[in-house]
Structure 1
Amino acid sequence: MLGVDDVAAQLGSIGFRCRGCGACCRRVAEDSNLVLVSPAEVRTIMAATGMAWGEVAEPYPDFIGTDNGAEYTLAWCLRRTADACIFLQDGRCSIYAHRPWICRTYPFMLVDDDLRVSECPGLGTPLSPYDARNAAADLCRRQVAEGVEEDGIRAVFHEATVPPGKRVVIDSEGVKVLDG
């Protein structure tokens, strides 16, 4: 796993400043604005907004079929309209202080020891060492949080029973049967 200083050096050499354009929140291609969220992140947004789970999150759209006619998926995503995240209002994020890790660290992501960079108009803008270190610390915290969630899903999945003919989400908290 990369350390904060290693990631900060890479971020500093790439450069980034959010331009507030909201492009990352808009659908420009199929699932281009698909924001995966953990149950803890959904609960944080619920607490901040007063919204219910189903108003905040929707199941990850790729379901896996089972022999008993059931289907499951292993993640939640922020709800979206036909063209944007539901929390993009007047070109700004309405849950900015409570936004999920994926939004907080965009356009960067750590995969093992590899820094991945998504397209973004803010790339290439000089980044101070202080800001690079803060962004790197967030990326490292995100990587740990995602690892904890993946371990939780693995543990639940190992013991999970998916009811026949039902659609469910298996997350770190358990098996959640979907309505309808």
Structure 2
Amino acid sequence: MLGIDDVANRIRSVGFRCLGCGACCRRVAEDSNLVLVSPAEVRKIMAATKMSWDEVAEPYPDFIESESGGQYTLAWCIRRNEDACIFLRDGRCSIYPHRPWICRTYPFMLVDDDLLVSECPGLGTPLSLHDAHVAAADLCRRQAAETAEEIGLRAAYQRAVVPPGKRAVIDSEGMKVLNG
């Protein structure tokens, strides 16, 4: 696992400054703005907005057929409207202090010991060592949170039995059968 200094050096070599353009929040291709969120992140947003679970999150759109005749998916996403995240208002994030890890660390992602970089107009902009360390620390915390979520998801998946004819989301908290 990479340390914060290693990640910071890699981020600094790429360079980045958020331009506030909101392009990452808009749908430019099918599922281009699909923001995966953990149950903990959904609850954090719910607390900040006083919205319900169903108002904040929707099931990941790809469902898998279960042996029982039901269907399941393994993730939640922030709800979207026709062209953008529901929290993009007047070109700005309305939940910015409570935004999910994926938004907080965009356009970067750690996968094992690799720094993945998504397309973004702000790439290539010089970054201070301090800002690179802040971004790296967030990425390392995100990676730890995603690892914990994955462990919880595996345990929940092993216990889950999707009811016949039903759809469900299996996450680190367990199985949630969907209405309708």
TM-score w.r.t. length of structure 2: 0.99
Question: Residues 101-151 of structure 1: CA distance to partner in whole angstroms, max 9, x if unpaired?
Answer: 000000000000000000000000000000000000000000000000000
Question: Residues 28-86 of structure 1: CA distance to partner in whole angstroms, max 9, x if unpaired?
Answer: 00000000000000000000000000000000000001233200000000000010000
Partner of residue 27, structure 2:
27
Q: Would the aligned equivalents of 2:8 and 2:132 in 1 still touch at CA under 8 Å?
A: yes
Matches within 5 A, 1:62-101: 62-101=62-101
Partner of residue 140, structure 1:
140
Q: 5+ residue gaps in structure 1? A: none
Matches within 5 A, 1:41-80: 41-80=41-80
Partner of residue 36, structure 1:
36
One-letter amino acid matched to 1:73: T
Q: Which runs of 4+ in 1 moved over 4 A?
A: none
- Partner SS, residue 168 of structure 1: strand
C-alpha distance in structure 2 between counterparts of 1:66 and 1:139, whole Å:
34
Q: Would the aligned equivalents of 2:22 and 2:91 in 1 still touch at CA under 8 Å?
A: yes
Please report the RMSD computed on the Cα atoms of aligned residues, expressed in angstroms. 0.5
**1:110 to 2:110 alignment:** yes
C-alpha distance in structure 2 between counterparts of 1:119 and 1:95, whole Å:
23
Shift of 1:159: 1.2
Give the paired residue count.
180
- Partner SS, residue 165 of structure 2: coil
- Partner SS, residue 77 of structure 1: strand
Shift of 1:15: 0.4
One-letter amino acid matched to 1:160: A
Shift of 1:174: 0.7
C-alpha distance in structure 1 between counterparts of 2:132 and 2:47, whole Å:
30
Q: Would the aligned equivalents of 2:68 and 2:161 in 1 still touch at CA under 8 Å?
A: no
- Partner SS, residue 24 of structure 1: helix
- Partner SS, residue 41 of structure 1: helix
C-alpha distance in structure 1 between counterparts of 2:43 and 2:142, whole Å:
17
Shift of 1:161: 1.2
Q: 5+ residue gaps in structure 2? A: none
Q: Would the aligned equivalents of 2:17 and 2:123 in 1 still touch at CA under 8 Å?
A: yes
**1:8 to 2:8 alignment:** yes
One-letter amino acid matched to 1:154: R
